[in-house]
Chains A and B, each alone.
Chain A
């Protein structure tokens, strides 16, 4: 009953779409790096964001938000996400197994959680503590 309700919910289908889109992003990245160097891949990648960003602004008709802090954090996000994307592409180009590299780099919440504890003074819940153990196990296995 609850499962059926979940399947009717819009958020479920949007979440599934996100999973499929990001899966497609990885596969396209790997296929591109077979020929194109990581820096050029990242250069072209950024242009892929333009139509979606314009679509978000047009369809939502959202007003400009003037928050220097918010804008600075988001711009910093773009730079850091770009650097992370660049090294991910370099990892794919180095010839490692795509599934392994994707799963290993998807562990980034590990760093977010640790930083949230250090910077935002958040406390870990017990599920996150178990998660840290699984992340450590995964990293050890991948490094073998």
Chain B
């Protein structure tokens, strides 16, 4: 079996974000969701000394730097909107699976913005993944 190059990177993302999901449950037992978000943002900065690119930072085009900064802003706004949905009466069992559907936006916009298309088999995989995400995000009972 030949695994694509992105597979192992994706696996690390899957596992680390999976642990984040668990820690999030534990952190909001002790903190409001707002403070949990603020401390999460501060947590990002713990990694900054290792990520600091030095002078090369200023060699990239303004457009690419803007994409990078906007990616952070949009991610944070998504987290804020999720909090707002939960605060304004949305049930976690509905809101969480709903917001987990963000890959749909990418699937629909990728052909126009990134000029990427997907094969039939990849489409089947994406549909399976989306169904899995929605079902897995339903609330489990504490035993």
The residues of A with any CB-CB pair to B shorter than 8 Å are 9-12, 14-15, 17-32, 34-37, 39-53, 55-57, 60, 62, 64-65, 67, 69-71, 73-88, 90-92, 94-117, 119-125, 127-128, 130-135, 137-138, 141-144
- On whether the beta carbons of B52 and A99 are closer than 8 Å, the reply is no
- On whether the beta carbons of B13 and A98 are closer than 8 Å, the reply is no
- On whether the beta carbons of B3 and A131 are closer than 8 Å, the reply is no
- On whether the beta carbons of B105 and A105 are closer than 8 Å, the reply is no
Report A-chain residues with C-beta under 8 Å of the C-beta of B141: 122-123, 125
Most chain B CB neighbours (cut-off 10 Å) among A49, A57, A96, A127:
A49
- On whether the beta carbons of A26 and B106 are closer than 8 Å, the reply is yes
Report A-chain residues with C-beta under 8 Å of the C-beta of B6: 91-92, 94-96, 101
Report A-chain residues with C-beta under 8 Å of the C-beta of B102: 18-19, 22-23, 25-26, 102, 106
Report B-chain residues with C-beta under 8 Å of the C-beta of A111: 14-15, 17-19, 21
- On whether the beta carbons of B84 and A14 are closer than 8 Å, the reply is yes
- On whether the beta carbons of A48 and B74 are closer than 8 Å, the reply is yes
- On whether the beta carbons of A47 and B69 are closer than 8 Å, the reply is yes
* Chain A residue with Cβ nearest B21: A112
Q: Is the interface of A mostly helix, strand, loop or mixed?
A: helix
Assuming the A-B contacts A44-B65, A97-B118, A122-B140, are A74 and B36 also in contact, with contact meaning beta carbons closer than 8 angstroms in the complex?
A: yes
- On whether the beta carbons of B16 and A12 are closer than 8 Å, the reply is no
Assuming the A-B contacts A87-B12, A111-B18, are A74 and B27 also in contact, with contact meaning beta carbons closer than 8 angstroms in the complex?
A: yes
Q: Is the interface of B mostly helix, strand, loop or mixed?
A: helix
Report the minimal beta-carbon distance from B142 to chain A, rounded to whole angstroms. Answer: 5
CA distance A103 to B83 in the complex (A): 22
CA distance A21 to B79 in the complex (A): 9
CA distance A110 to B93 in the complex (A): 16
- On whether the beta carbons of B74 and A25 are closer than 8 Å, the reply is yes
19 contacts between A and B (CB under 8 A): A10-B89, A14-B82, A15-B90, A43-B48, A45-B72, A48-B74, A52-B73, A52-B76, A53-B76, A70-B29, A73-B27, A75-B46, A83-B16, A87-B10, A91-B6, A103-B126, A109-B137, A110-B18, A122-B142
- List B residues 14-42 near A (Cβ within 8 Å): 14-32, 34-42
CA distance A98 to B103 in the complex (A): 9
- Pick the contact of B138: A18, A60, A128 (CB < 8 A): A128
Assuming the A-B contacts A53-B38, A56-B34, are A90 and B9 also in contact, with contact meaning beta carbons closer than 8 angstroms in the complex?
A: yes
Report A-chain residues with C-beta under 8 Å of the C-beta of B138: 125, 127-128, 131
